[in-house]
Amino acid sequence: MPDGNTKPGDTKPRYASTPALGAALEHLDIVIIGAGLSGVGAACHITRKSPASRFAILEARNAIGGTWDLFRYPGVRSDSDMYTLGYGFRPWRGAKALAPAGDILNYVRDTAKAYGIERHIRFGQKLRHAAWSSEDACWTLEIEQVETGETTRLTTAMLMMCGGYYSYESGHAPQFPGAENFRGEIVHPQFWPEGLDHAGKRVIVIGSGATAVTLVPAMAETASHVTMLQRSPSYIVSRPSADPFAAKTRKYLPEALAGRVVRAKNILETLFLYKLARRKPAEIKRHIVRLIKKELGPDYDVARHFTPSYNPWDQRVCLVPDSDLFRAIASGRASVATGHIDHFTETGIKLVSGEEIPADIIVSATGLNLRMMGGATMTVDGKNMNFGDTLCYKGMMIADVPNFVFVIGYTNASWTLKSDLVSTYVCRLLNYMRRRHYDIAVPVRDASVKEVPLIDFSSGYVARAREHMPKQGDRPPWMLHQSYLRDMPMLRYFPLRDGTMKFSRKTRNAKRGNAGS
C-alpha cells in the first residue's frame, strides 16, 4: 500500500496513483469506495479488527467527509442524534445531539487522523467499472483520475461500497412551468452558490423534508421573510439540541462508559418510539399534532400545514432542534404555504389556488436522486449486473455476487448504526477467509424466496428509484431489517456459515481444488 507524502505548500497528503492500463496491477485485500462517514468508519474497523488486511479508500472528491463536506446550505446539520450517528468505537463528545455539519465534518476527519486512515485515502479517484472474475477470485477496478481523465486499474479481493445511495452530481430538480421567467435566483441545496446573500430578501423554500425544515429557520434569521412551500405536510418533531441525559451521564461516569450508556439509551428509545408509531399510528399522529399546536398556538391552521395524510414513519420523521422552525413561524419571520405550484412568475410563484407568493430567491429543496454504486457499472464473470434485478443478503451483500458488500443505513434510525455493524461483519469475513484460506464468499440465492421492495417508504426519492434498487426477500437472511436489535446479533455473532453463504477457493493455478461449504 503506497504511503502518503507531502510537499511544501500541500494542504493534504499526496498519494501515488494506481497503475495505468497495461502496467502490472496492484492487488489489495479490500477496496472501500467513499471517504465519508461510512467509508472512514469501515477503514477504522479494518485497522482495529483486521489489521493484516491491505486496503485503500477511493474518494472521487478531494476531501474527507462525504455528505458533510458536500452540502454547504445554511443551517445544514444532522437529523439523527450524534450519539448514534457517531461511531460506536469513538463516542461523540460534542455538546449538541443535533450537530451542525461543521462539527460532524471535524469529527469524521479527526477520527480518520486518530486511526491513521488518511494515508490510505486516494483522492480524485472515481470508480467507473468493477469486473469480477471467479477464475481469478478478484475484482478488477477501472478508476478515473478525476483531474486528468486518465483511466487506471487495480485488483482487489473484496469490494465495499460506502458512497451512500444518492447522486453527488445531480439533485432531484422538477421542471417548473415558467421558471425561466423568474427574475431572481433559483438554487438547489445540493449545489449552494458560494456567497449567496439572502439578507433582507424574500425567500421561498420548496419542500417539506429534512432539508427544507433546516433551511427555513436558518435563512429566516436574516431574510426579510421565508416561506416554506409544500404540496403536503410532513411529520415534524422538536427535540433539544443538547441531550440532558448525556450531560448528566458524562458528569458521573468515565467518558468511554458514558458514551456507551448514552448510545444504548438512544438506540432503545428510538426503536421503542418507532415500534409504538407503527403499532398505534393514530395515537402517535394525534400526539405529534398536539405538540405542534402547543408550539404555534390555537389559532394556527395545524390541520392544513402540519397534519400529513399518511401515518408516522411511512416517510421519515423530520427533527428540528429546540423548536427552531416553529419559533421562526411564531415570530412571523417564516410561514408555511400548502398547495400545488401552477407556474413561476417574474416575481415569485403562483399556486393553482390563485395565491401568489413573492420571492427574490427560490430554493428548490425537492430531494435527491438515488443512484447505486455512484454510477459505476459492474460485471460478474462477464455478465452485466443491474441492481434492480438483484436480491440483497442481510441488507449488505448481493445474491450470487461474490466478495461484494454495500452499506445502506437505517431509514428509522441513525445511518452509522448499520454501517458499524456491516463493517464489523466485513472484518469477521476477512479474518475467517484468511484463516481458512478461502478466496470467495458468496450468498447463494434460494429460488423459493419471494422479492419485495428494499425500502418500504412512500417518500418520493425512494419511489423514483425503486426499480433501480436491489430487492429484499420475504424471510431471513434475505430481509433488510430496519432494526438494530435484530441486526446486531446477526452481523456480530451469528455464524458466517449459515447455509446460504458459500466459501470456496479460486481454481486458476490451484491444485487443491474447490472446497465449497
Shared-domain flag, residues 128 and 267: no
Single residue among 333, 348, 366 that ends a domain in this structure: 366
Q: Are the beta carbons of 233 and 306 closer than 8 angstroms?
A: yes
What phi, psi does 439 have (nearest 5°)?
A: -110, -25
Gap between the Cα atoms of 91 and 77, Å rounded: 18
Q: Which of 320, 340, 366 lies at the terminal end of a domain, its last residue?
A: 366
* 312 shares a domain with 184: yes
The CATH number of whichever domain residue 243 belongs to comes to: 3.50.50.60
The reported pLDDT for the residue numbered 2 is 34
Asked if residues 355 and 197 have their Cβ atoms less than 8 Å apart, the reply is no
Residue 11 domain flag: no
Under the phi-then-psi rule, with left for phi > 0, alpha for psi from -120 to 50, and beta for the rest, what region is 359? beta
- Residues 83 and 266 sit within 8 Å (Cβ to Cβ): yes
The verdict on residue 514 lying in a domain is: no
Structural domain includes residue 65: yes
Same domain, 189 and 307: yes
**Residue 477, preceding peptide bond in cis (omega within 30° of 0):** yes
| 517 in a structural domain | no
Residue 20 domain-assigned? no
Are 466 and 356 within one domain?
Answer: no
Strand partners, 156: 28, 139
Does one domain contain both 315 and 231?
yes
Q: Please give the pLDDT value at position 169.
A: 65
Q: Give the span between the Cα atoms of 368 and 380, in whole angstroms.
A: 29
Q: Taking every pair of C-alpha atoms in the chain, what is the biggest distance, in angstroms?
A: 81
Q: Are residues 37 and 154 in the same domain?
A: yes
Give yes or no: residues 344 and 259 share one domain: yes
CA proximity to 453, closest of 441, 440, 465:
465
The reply to whether 509 falls in a domain is no
pLDDT (0 to 100) of residue 255: 87
Tally of CB atoms within 10 A around 169: 12
CA 115 to chain centroid: 22
* pLDDT of the chain, 517 residues: tens digit per residue: 333 333 333 333 333 344 444 457 899 999 999 999 999 999 999 999 999 999 999 999 999 999 899 899 999 999 889 999 999 999 999 889 999 999 999 999 999 999 999 999 999 999 999 999 999 999 999 999 999 999 999 999 999 999 876 666 666 677 899 999 999 999 999 889 988 999 999 999 999 999 999 999 999 999 999 999 999 999 999 999 999 999 999 999 998 899 999 999 999 999 999 999 999 999 999 999 999 999 999 999 999 999 999 999 888 899 999 999 999 999 999 999 999 999 999 999 999 999 999 999 999 998 776 777 778 999 999 999 888 889 999 999 999 999 999 998 888 889 999 999 999 999 999 999 999 999 999 999 988 888 887 666 545 545 555 566 788 888 899 988 888 999 999 999 999 999 999 999 987 654 333 344 4
Domain shared by 287 and 260, yes or no: yes
Give residue 199's pLDDT: 97
Q: What is the pLDDT of residue 163?
A: 86
Beta bridge partners of 335: 227
Residues 103 and 60 in one domain: yes
pLDDT at residue 166 in the model: 65
Q: Is residue 512 part of a domain?
A: no
Query: Does residue 4 belong to any structural domain of this protein?
Result: no
Ordered alpha helix ranges (H), 351-466:
415-436, 460-465
Total count of domains within the chain = 2
Q: Are residues 345 and 379 in the same domain?
A: no
Q: Are residues 122 and 75 in the same domain?
A: yes
DSSP code string of 482-500 = --HHHHHHHHHTS-S-SSS
The residue from 315, 336, 366 where one domain ends is: 366
The domain of 34 spans: 27-168+369-504
204 shares its domain with 351? yes
pLDDT of res. 13: 35
What are 377's strand-pairing partners? 129
User: How is residue 232 written as a grid cell?
Assistant: 403536503
Q: What local confidence, expressed as pLDDT, does residue 9 receive?
A: 34
